[in-house]
Structure 1
Amino acid sequence: MPPTAHHFTPVYPLHEPQQSFRSKQYAPPRKRKRQQDPDDDDVDETDDSDSQIELLQPSISSQDINDPYRVAGWPESMPLPGSSFPHAPAVKQKSRQPLSTNLQKELAALNPPLYVPPPGEQDSTSSLRRHHLGVLTTILHTSLLKHDFVRAGRAWGMILRTSVVGRPFDVRTHGRWGIGAEILMRKLPLHNNSQEELGNASTISDQGLEAAKDYYERLILQFPFQKMNPNAVSSLTFYPAMFGLCIYEIQQKCTRALKSVRNSSPEMDRSDSELELIQDQDSEGIAAIKRSELDSAARLAARMDELMLSPPFDTYPPLLQLRGSVALWLADLYTTTVESDDGDDESKERASMERSKAKRCIDRMKAAGVAVPELMMNVLD
C-alpha cells in the first residue's frame, strides 16, 4: 500500500514562532468574541493571557519611551561619546588609504604627472626603463648636434620600441614627430658626391625626401583627426608639414636642374655664333625646367584643393596660408610661361584664377582672426 499524507505528518506539535518581549509589548491586543446571547449585548473581551502579561509588566511612561539614552541603547551611567551624540557614531577616524596601484600609474603617466610616488614605492622596473629612455634621448640629441644621422636614426628606432609603465612611446608628444622626418631626410646619402653638394647642409637627397614623405603619410593614417579631441596632434598637424616638404622638393629639383644647365655651357674661347646658340639652348632648357616646375606645383595644388573641400581642413589657418602661397607661386609660374611662349590666353586665365584663390585664402584667414603675412599682402596689392 503506497504511503499517504498522514505518514509524513510530524509526531511533535508545531509551535508558533517566538516573539520578543518588546514586540509583544507594543503589539495590539488580540480580541475574541464571545458567543452571542440574545439577551446580552455584544461584549468584546481581551484575551486572558494578554491581560495577565500586562499585569506582570512594569508600567512604562511616554517619557521613558522617548528617552534618548534608551532609544540609543546607551546606559546613563556611562559618559557620552561626544558632543554630536546620538547623531553620529563614536567611530575613530580612519587613516587615509593610499592610492591603488593602477590609479598611481595612470596619474604618474600624465604629462605633467599628477602623482609622484615616494622613492620607496617606485617600481624599480619602470625606473630603469625611464633611465634607459633618458640615456637614449641624450644619445639622440648628441648625435644630431654632431650631424651623425646614422647613429641618431638607431637611437630613434630604439626609443620608438621602448615602453614605460606598460605604455608604448607616443611619437606625437613634445613635437618628437619632426625629429623622425629630419633624420630620414638627412641620413640617406646623396647620389652626386660632388664636394659642393656634400658641403651644402641644405641639400637633401631624393631618397631622403621620399622617405620623409612616406613617414608623414603613415602618421596621417595612424593619427586621423578626431572631433572629440580637436587640439590633439593629428593629421591636421601633419598635412602642412608634408606639403611644405613637397614644395621644398619641387624647388630643389628645379634649382639643381638650372645649375646643371648653366654649368654645362662655359663661355670661354667661343665665337659669337656659338654663344648665341648656347644661349638659345640654355633658354630652351630653362623653359623646360620651368614647365616641369609648373606641372609639379599644379599637381600639388590640386591635391591641396581636394583635401580642403571638407572641414576642418578648409578653415585651418596653416593650410590656408600654405595654399595662398602656392597660389601666388603658380601665378608667377603661369606668368613666366606666358612670356616665354609669346602670349597664351589659357595661362593668363589660370594665373588670374590662382590670384583669386590666394585672395580667398587671405579672406578666410582674416575671418578666423589670423594675421596675414605682409609679403602675401604686398604681392596681391
Structure 2
Amino acid sequence: MPPTAHHFTPAYPLHEPQHSFRSKQYAPPRKRKRLTDPDDESDDSDTHLDPLEPSVQSHDINDPYRVAGWPENFPLPGSSFPHAPAVKPKTRQPSSNNLQKELAALKPPLYVPPPGEQDTTSSLRRHHLSVLTTVLHTSLLKHDFVRAGRAWGMILRTDILGRPLDVRTHGRWGIGAEILMRKFSCGKTHQDQPRNASTISDEGFEAAKDYYERLILQFPYQKTNPHAISSLTFYPAMFGLCIYEIQQRCKSAIGCVQNTPSDVDNSDSDLALSSDPDEEISAIKHSELESAASLAARMDELMLSPPFDTIPSLLQLRASVALWLVDLYTTTAKTDDDDDDDENKERVSAERARAKKCLDRMKAAGVTAPAMIVDVLD
C-alpha cells in the first residue's frame, strides 16, 4: 500500500507557524498575557491568540529563583541575580614590590635575592653551582687556596637563567679577597724567615687591595638602592687591610732585628739603617708612622664628602687610626730633637681632636662608640 499524506504529517504541533517576512510585518500585534484575576469577570478570550500555545503555566520552569536554586524567603545576593551570577569578593593579592618593602622594613631586615639567585627550579647549572661551592669551602678548610681560587673563578663565570652571579651575594666578595691574600703566602719572607698561618705576603696584600679597588669602581654607592652592598662596604674593608699590612710589615722587621745576631751584616734589609738595633727599631717606627699618616690622609680626603662622612664603620676606623698615630708620635718623639718634639705634640693634639670629632659624629648618628676608644680619649 503506498504511503498517503497522513504518514508525513508530524505527530507534534508546531509551536510557531511558518510565515513570510511580509506577512509578519502586516500581522496584527499580539497582546501580552495578563495574569488572571478570579474577581475579574472580563472576557479573556484574547489572552491566547495562538491556539497551539499551552494554556497551563509551569511555575517550576518559568520561576527563575527555583531554577537558580535560590529560595524566595532569602534576600537576593545582588549583582542582578538570578539573571547574572553572584559576584564573589576578590581577595587582593600583595604585589611583589610591597612584599619586598615590608621584608626590608623588618629588624633585622630581610632582602629577597634577585631572580638569578632564587632556588625556584632545579637544573643542571644549579647542581653544578652547588658542587663548585662545596669544592670551594672544602679547599678553604684544607688551606688549599690555589684550588679554592680556581673554584671561585668558575663560580663567577657560571650563569643561572641567563644572568651572571653577583659577586656581592652570599659573602663571595669577602671570600675572594681572602683567597687572593692567602694563595701567595706559600714560601718565605724576604728575610728568609718561615711564615706562620697569620703571615701574608706583599703580593697577597697588593692583589687584595687591587681587588677592592676594582669592586669600589664597579659597585659605587647609589641613592636609589642605599641598602645594597657598595663602596660603603668595600672602603672599610680595604682600609682595615692596609692597617693590617702596615702593622705586619713593621712587626716582621722588628722581629728580624731582634732575632739577628749583632755580628751579622744587615745592609740588605729594607728598613735597616745601621748595625745598632735601637736605631734600626727607631727607623722602623718612623716608617710605620709615615705609612699610617699617609693612610689617615687618604681617609680624610675620602670622608670630606657625603655619604662617607657619616658612615659609622669609617668613623670608628678613623678614630682608631687617630689614636694609633698618637701612640706613634709619642714613641718617635723620644728620639727626636726639640723642634721635632714640639711638632709631634701639635700633631698629637690634632689627632686627638680628630678622634673626638669622629666620636661626636657617631653619637649624632645614634651609634655607640667602643668603650676602649672612649676611655682613651677621656
TM-score (norm 1): 0.67
Give yes or no for the alignment of 1:143 onto 2:145.
Answer: no
Q: Secondary structure at the match of 2:276?
A: helix
Instruction: Using the TM superposition, give the Cα deviation of residue 337 of structure 1 relative to its aligned residue in structure 2, in angstroms.
Output: 2.1
Q: Secondary structure at the match of 1:176?
A: helix
Give yes or no for the alignment of 1:159 onto 2:155.
Answer: yes
**Which sections of structure 1, spanning at least 5 residues, go unmatched?**
1-52, 64-74, 94-108, 269-277
1:81–1:90 contact (8 Å) kept in structure 2: no
Give yes or no for the alignment of 1:363 onto 2:337.
Answer: no
2:29 aligned partner: 57
Q: Secondary structure at the match of 1:197?
A: coil
The 1:62–1:154 alpha-carbon spacing in structure 2 relative to 1, beyond 3 Å, is: farther
2:80 aligned partner: 86
Distance 2:254 2:145 in 1: 29
Q: Secondary structure at the match of 2:226?
A: coil
Instruction: Using the TM superposition, give the Cα deviation of residue 152 of structure 1 relative to its aligned residue in structure 2, in angstroms.
Output: 0.5
The 1:313–1:190 alpha-carbon spacing in structure 2 relative to 1, beyond 3 Å, is: farther
The 1:62–1:223 alpha-carbon spacing in structure 2 relative to 1, beyond 3 Å, is: farther
1:181–1:212 contact (8 Å) kept in structure 2: yes
Amino acid paired to 2:177: A
The 1:131–1:357 alpha-carbon spacing in structure 2 relative to 1, beyond 3 Å, is: same
Matches within 5 A, 1:293-304: 293-304=288-299
Instruction: Using the TM superposition, give the Cα deviation of residue 216 of structure 1 relative to its aligned residue in structure 2, in angstroms.
Output: 0.6
Distance 2:260 2:141 in 1: 36
Instruction: Using the TM superposition, give the Cα deviation of residue 184 of structure 1 relative to its aligned residue in structure 2, in angstroms.
Output: 0.3
1:373 aligned partner: 370
TM-score (norm 2): 0.68
The 1:332–1:77 alpha-carbon spacing in structure 2 relative to 1, beyond 3 Å, is: closer
The 1:316–1:112 alpha-carbon spacing in structure 2 relative to 1, beyond 3 Å, is: same
1:317–1:365 contact (8 Å) kept in structure 2: yes
Distance 2:84 2:359 in 1: 71
The 1:336–1:193 alpha-carbon spacing in structure 2 relative to 1, beyond 3 Å, is: closer
The 1:257–1:195 alpha-carbon spacing in structure 2 relative to 1, beyond 3 Å, is: closer
2:165 aligned partner: 169
Q: Secondary structure at the match of 1:285?
A: helix
The 1:210–1:115 alpha-carbon spacing in structure 2 relative to 1, beyond 3 Å, is: closer
Q: Secondary structure at the match of 2:182?
A: helix
Amino acid paired to 1:152: A
Distance 1:61 1:351 in 2: 111
Q: Which runs of 4+ in 1 moved over 3 A?
A: 53-63, 75-93, 109-117, 193-196, 265-268
1:254 aligned partner: 250
Distance 1:197 1:373 in 2: 36
Matches within 5 A, 1:4-43: none
Higher fraction of helix: 1
Count of equivalent residues: 286
Instruction: Using the TM superposition, give the Cα deviation of residue 56 of structure 1 relative to its aligned residue in structure 2, in angstroms.
Output: 3.8
The 1:159–1:115 alpha-carbon spacing in structure 2 relative to 1, beyond 3 Å, is: closer
2:351 aligned partner: 354
1:272 aligned partner: none
1:309-355 Cα offsets, whole Å, 9 max, x none, are 11111111110000000001111111122211043221110111001
- Give the counterpart of 1:328 among 298, 318, 323: 323
1:65-97 Cα offsets, whole Å, 9 max, x none, are xxxxxxxxxx9477644655734635999xxxx
Distance 2:198 2:284 in 1: 21
Over the matched positions of the two proteins, sequence identity in percent amounts to 63
1:242 aligned partner: 238
**Which sections of structure 2, spanning at least 5 residues, go unmatched?**
1-24, 36-60, 71-76, 89-110, 265-272
Amino acid paired to 1:111: P
Matches within 5 A, 1:57-206: 57-58=29-30, 76=62, 80-81=67-68, 83=70, 86-87=80-81, 89-90=84-85, 110-111=112-113, 122=121, 127-188=123-184, 189-192=186-189, 197-198=194-195, 200-206=196-202
Amino acid paired to 1:184: L
1:197–1:203 contact (8 Å) kept in structure 2: no
C-alpha RMSD over aligned residues:
3.4
Amino acid paired to 1:201: A
Q: Secondary structure at the match of 1:216?
A: helix
1:172–1:233 contact (8 Å) kept in structure 2: yes
Amino acid paired to 1:328: L
Q: Secondary structure at the match of 2:194?
A: helix
Distance 2:69 2:191 in 1: 92
1:140–1:155 contact (8 Å) kept in structure 2: yes
